[in-house]
Amino acid sequence: MKTWITADTHFGHNNIIKYCDRPFFSVWDMDETLIRNWNRIVASNDVVYHLGDFSLKKSVDEYLSQLNGQIKLVPGGHDYWIRHVDLEEYKGKVEILPLYKTISVLRKKVVLCHYPMLSWDSSFHGSIHLHGHTHGKLPDLGRRADVGVDCNNFDPFDLEGIIENLMFLNGEK
């Protein structure tokens, strides 16, 4: 079992192609590419932390039924669908997390939130902050990184890999 992290898939959101200059001809093309990329690396027993803006649509069945892994979602500003679905139906497939979640990875405190922060829990003591929302348009700050699909060729990131990379860049390995 591996753990992955991503954000800002924006399934079903046609205008995101223009807003973020995504290289897709249509929302169908974007959705199919995101699903194919996700399933190419995420196995059925893997965990994927998704840091918000999963989909703008009220119905997400067509996406959740096709994606591998268990999704742990930190909601973003466009995740209105959460209010319109019976989450019991997705038990075991989707877990909705708080808007701000702290986890431990490689004995390192990691703060997850859809939105980037300048300061976060233990930020002055070596913790790491992973976020989405900015679509790669905001520079990473040492221990803060955007993990959205726009920053990784529309693939999820390997969670341990990105933590190791940030630790290396900060002289910890």
Q: 39 lies in which domain range?
A: 3-169
Our count of domains for the chain comes to 1
CA-nearest of 40, 28, 32, 33 to 68 is: 40
| CATH number of domain containing 138 | 3.60.21.10
100: left (phi over 0), alpha (psi -120 to 50) or beta: beta
Long-range contacts, 142-149 (Cβ 8 Å, 24+): 142/166, 142/169, 142/170, 143/170, 144/116, 144/117, 144/120, 146/7, 146/116, 147/5, 147/6, 147/7, 147/51, 148/6, 148/7, 148/8, 148/51, 149/6, 149/7, 149/8, 149/9, 149/34
Question: What does residue 105 show for φ and ψ, rounded to 5 degrees?
Answer: -135, 125
pLDDT score of 58: 75
Written as one string, the DSSP assignment of 91-147 is TTTEEEPPSEEEEEETTEEEEEESS--SS-TTGGGT-EEEE-SSTT-S--BTTEEE-
Provide the β-strand partners of residue 104: 109
Burial 16-39, CB ≥16 within 10 A → b, else e? bbeebebebeebeebbebbbebbe
pLDDT score of 89: 83
This prediction has a pTM of 0.95
Spell out the per-residue pLDDT of the chain, length 173, in tens.
999 999 999 999 999 999 999 999 999 999 999 999 999 999 999 999 999 999 988 788 899 999 999 999 999 999 888 888 777 888 889 999 999 999 999 999 999 999 999 999 999 999 999 999 999 999 878 899 999 999 999 999 999 999 999 999 888 86
Tokens at residue 48, please? Answer: 């994927």
The 8-class DSSP code of residue 43 comes to: -
Distance between CA 60 and CA 88 in Å, rounded?
14
pLDDT score of 87: 78
